[in-house]
Amino acid sequence: MIRSRSTPPASPDCAQILVLPNDFAIRIVSSRNSPVDGPRYRLTVRAIRGTLQVVAAWKALGQYAADVEQVQIGIDNRHGFEEITFTFGDISSGALVRLVRRQIAQPWTLDAYFYSDNDATA
């Protein structure tokens, strides 16, 4: 395997794909939004490894898909699940509750939850 010096070795138990905010698809989705100075809110959806349906998870966001600023997809081989995390800048907690309910209604979803940057620092 060829690896650059700046590329850290991959963990055999966990892999992640990070889609940066300047990615073309994210720029298109977020083109109507201005940067938000407040906390970011994250919605995470987990599924059994091999069953995560990214397109269905996006579709379940409905009108809030345009508010997504960042997407992160992770695979935890040790615990046997995959997850996708959507980061929102400006979204109400009521909208997040509705989104969690939509995601949980998917037959392949193990769980779905949301949290804010403030939760991580508290």
Predicted model pTM: 0.68
Q: Domain extents for the chain? A: 14-121
The 8 Å CB, 24+ separation contacts for 96-102 are: 96/41, 96/43, 99/43, 99/60, 99/61, 99/64, 100/43, 102/60, 102/61, 102/62
Instruction: Supply φ then ψ for residue 29, to 5 degrees.
Output: -65, -35
Fold (topology level) of 14-121:
Alpha-Beta Plaits (3.30.70)
Q: Is the dihedral of CA 77, 84, 18, 88 positive or negative?
A: negative
| Tens of pLDDT, residue by residue, the chain (122 residues) | 333 333 444 455 555 566 666 676 666 555 545 455 567 899 999 999 999 999 999 999 999 998 999 999 999 999 999 999 999 988 888 899 999 999 999 999 999 999 887 654 44
